[in-house]
Chain A
Amino acid sequence: MGGKKGASLRGSLASSGFKLTIAAAAAACVAVVLMALDSSKNGSFSDMSAMGLFQRTVGGLGMGSAATPAWNLLHYDPRLQSVDDSNMWPVAGGYPYSPSAVSTAAGIRELAREDLEIIRVGP
């Protein structure tokens, strides 16, 4: 037996579901495009070469998440100062800037200076 003449699937839940699926796929595509755009922007030749030229000019400057060397050089560039001496400042309580609290590249070591000799005395 036939159903209603011209029965339409428009407005059905499945068609809403299909539209939502398309919307989700489109949103994912937009996200991918944005990431690709961002990647091309970040990887753009002129920007990368400008950053490279600048760093070669200044001999490599800046590593931390601080654009200015406020407080100390540690979080600006740990290569310049890898020791947090803020605990020696005369401000009671101090400012809790330390390698573990501030810098995004924390605790960079130096090449060890191996000069410790243990002199054993006795039999």
Chain B
Amino acid sequence: MTMRPLPSNLKHINLILAAGGNLAGRYPLRTLVLIFSLAAILFPFLTALSISEGIKLQSKISVDEGADFYVSGDSAGSAAPLPLSSVDRFRGIDEIDRIVPRIVGRAYLQERTVAIVGMPGGAVPESILIDGGRPIQNKGEVIVGSTLSRRYGLHPGVKFYMPINRWKRFTVAGVFSSRCSIWSSSLIYMSLDDAGELFRMKGMATDLLIYAKPRQSPVVSVYLQNENQKDPPFRIQSRDLVNSFFQKGFESRAGVFTVFYLAAFALAIPLIFILTGLGWTERRREIGTLKAVGWQTLDVMQVAFWENVYVSVLSACLALAAAYVWIHALNGFMIAQFFVAEPGLMPDFPVPARFVPVPAFLAFLLALALTMTGSLYNTWRMAATLPAETLR
């Protein structure tokens, strides 16, 4: 009795289920080991890319919410402070909404470098402060980052000074919430006058923040470049320029990281070869038997392919879940320090992270590529050979 051909989708379903049966029914332990091994290889990759995406998001906000232009002095090609009177050079430009001088510097607080930001007035919204603090109201008051507050006990009301200027005393008025971004964690925010006194640069600013009126940035840019023809020269960075490089910078870094990871990944290939090749003699004979009873080469290949797909999906998902837990429950313990320049096994601020689909899909593709490398060629070689050879 000859079988009538049945719909081909049933055939494919059978082959997919056969692949799953091989993994879960016949070799469950080996399958588990393979999945966990792959997940262990993929998990740092996903964790790192998620941190990169998290920093990218926060950086984007920094760019979008910052000024349209950053103007600083020029000293032999490096940034230099400029006098507050420089503001007068730009006052005549109608398309400018406002100009804000700023001092940004760094100093040491005990052994730690901290960022100092001084802005005119020092106004800070209360919503970004943790409970118990308040905005700056008096001279000498500062808002500190959450890490500094925790590490050095700088709670509201505490007075301190910094080695850079022992005569300048500060009082903590409030503490930035850790939701503000990673750059708030080690920041000391004060008034422009206080920053000028701290750094002994009264009447100076490290940069001028120029905010253009809506849609007037291109016009302001031209004015600024014209103004820059005169002496003394200054350095200008525009939001548009920063934006164009910002995206490319992150993608380039992520790309470089991925390439390096692939190279390291290659070291995992021998491990995967061993794991997927376990029982390779048995598998060879099995393929020979299947061919002998009428399985086509493509049928055998399809089963091998779906086995790899199953393993890749499960390992990528497991790696993502592990990365998620590692970031959100363990705050990137041990791993975050390699991707955010913050000393210590456990960062003392919430590690920024975003789990977006592309890295997850990339992890799946990596796992698939690795398992295919380990098995598909050999499977094809066996399946395409005459059964008598493989059955020997």
Which chain B residues in 104-148 approach chain A with CB under 8 Å? Answer: 104, 106, 112-115, 117, 119, 123-125, 127-128, 147
Question: Is B252 an interface residue, CB under 8 A from the partner?
Answer: yes
- Beyond A27-B317, A54-B180, is A104–B249 a contact (Cβ under 8 Å)? yes
Q: Are A17 and B360 in contact (CB under 8 A)?
A: no
Near B by CB (< 8 A), chain A positions 27-45 give 27-28, 30-31, 34-35, 38-39, 42
By the criterion CB–CB under 8 Å, are A34 and B324 in contact? yes
- Which residues of A sit under 8 angstroms from B200, Cβ to Cβ? none
Q: Output the least CB separation between B36 and chain A (Å).
A: 13
Q: Is the CB of B55 within 8 A of A53?
A: no
**Docked pose: A13 CA to B180 CA in angstroms:** 53
Residues A21 and B114 in contact, CB atoms below 8 Å apart: no
Is B272 part of the binding interface, using a Cβ–Cβ cutoff of 8 Å? no
A103-B249, A104-B59 known; A76+B115 contact, CB < 8 A: yes
Contact of A59 among B20, B112, B209 (CB under 8 A): B209
Segment touching A, from B158-166, B291-299, B335-343: B335-343
The B-contacting residues of A in range 17-76, CB under 8 angstroms, are 17-21, 23-24, 27-28, 30-31, 34-35, 38-39, 42, 46-70, 73, 75-76
**Cα distance A57–B328 in the bound complex, in angstroms:** 27
Residues of B within 8 A of A59 (CB): 66-67, 100, 102, 117, 119, 209
* From A50, A66, A107, contact of B177 by CB (8 A): A50
- Interface 0/1 of A4-24, CB less than 8 Å to B: 000000011111111111011
- Could you say which residues of chain B place their CB within 8 Å of the CB of A113? 225, 228-229, 233
Residues on A with C-beta less than 8 A from B225 are 111-114
Q: Which of B23-31, B82-90, B263-271, B279-287 contacts A (4 or more CB under 8 A)?
A: B23-31
Cβ A55 vs Cβ B246 within 8 A = no
Residue pair B20, A55 in contact (C-beta under 8 Å): no
Q: CA A123 – CA B123 in complex, angstroms?
A: 64
Q: Which of B17, B66, B100, B179 contacts A17 (CB 8 A)?
A: B17
Does B204 belong to the interface (CB within 8 Å)?
no
Instruction: List the A side residues contacting B206 at CB < 8 Å.
Output: 80
Question: B389 in the interface, Cβ–Cβ < 8 Å?
Answer: no
Residue B44 is within 8 A (CB to CB) of chain A in the complex? no
Are the C-beta atoms of A62 and B314 separated by less than 8 Å? no
In the assembled complex, which residues on chain A have CB atoms less than 8 Å from the CB atom of B318? 27
**Would A35 and B356 count as touching, CB distance under 8 A?**
yes
Residues of B within 8 A of A98 (CB): none
CA distance A65 to B187 in the complex (A): 15
Number of A-B contacts (CB under 8 A): 266
Whether the Cβ atoms of A110 and B237 lie closer than 8 Å is yes
Known: A38-B353, A50-B128, A111-B236. A61 touches B321 (CB 8 A): no
Interface size in chain A (residues, C-beta < 8 A) = 71
Complexed CA–CA distance, A53 and B127 (Å): 9
Q: Which chain B positions have C-beta within 8 A of A12?
A: 21, 25
Nearest-Cβ distance from residue B101 to partner chain A, whole angstroms: 10
Please encode chain A, from 61 to 105, with 1 for each CB lying within 8 Å of some chain B CB and 0 for all others.
Answer: 111111111100101110111110100000000000000001111
B16-56 at interface with A (beta carbon < 8 Å): 16-26, 52, 54-56
Contact check, B78 vs A61: say whether CB atoms are below 8 A apart: no
Question: Of B59, B182, B347, which one neighbours A105 at CB under 8 angstroms?
Answer: B59
> What's the Cα separation between A13 and B100 when bound, in Å?
71
On whether A57 and B246 interact (CB within 8 A), knowing A66-B341, A115-B229, the answer reads: no
Chain A minimum-CB-distance residue to B339: A65
A58 touches B59 (CB 8 A): no
Q: Which residue of B lies closest to A112 (CB)?
A: B225
User: B252 to chain A: which residues have CB within 8 Å?
Assistant: 106
In angstroms, how far is the closest chain B Cβ from the Cβ of A35? Answer: 5
Bound-complex Cα distance A34 to B281 (A): 40
Contact status A79-B183, CB under 8 Å = no
The reply to whether A80 and B52 contact each other, CB–CB distance below 8 Å, is: no
Q: Could you tell me if B249 and A106 are in contact, using CB atoms closer than 8 angstroms?
A: yes
The residue of chain B having its C-beta at the shortest distance from the C-beta of A105 within the complex is: B249
* 29 A-B pairs with C-beta separation under 8 A: A12-B25, A13-B18, A13-B21, A20-B21, A30-B317, A34-B324, A38-B324, A48-B61, A54-B128, A54-B176, A57-B124, A58-B117, A59-B209, A60-B62, A60-B70, A60-B209, A63-B62, A63-B246, A66-B340, A68-B113, A76-B183, A79-B242, A80-B206, A85-B78, A105-B249, A109-B245, A110-B236, A111-B225, A111-B237
- Not counting A68-B115, A76-B115, A104-B55, a sample of 12 additional A-B residue pairs whose C-beta atoms are within 8 angstroms of each other reads A13-B25, A18-B20, A46-B179, A51-B181, A52-B61, A63-B59, A68-B342, A75-B341, A82-B79, A105-B249, A108-B241, A111-B228
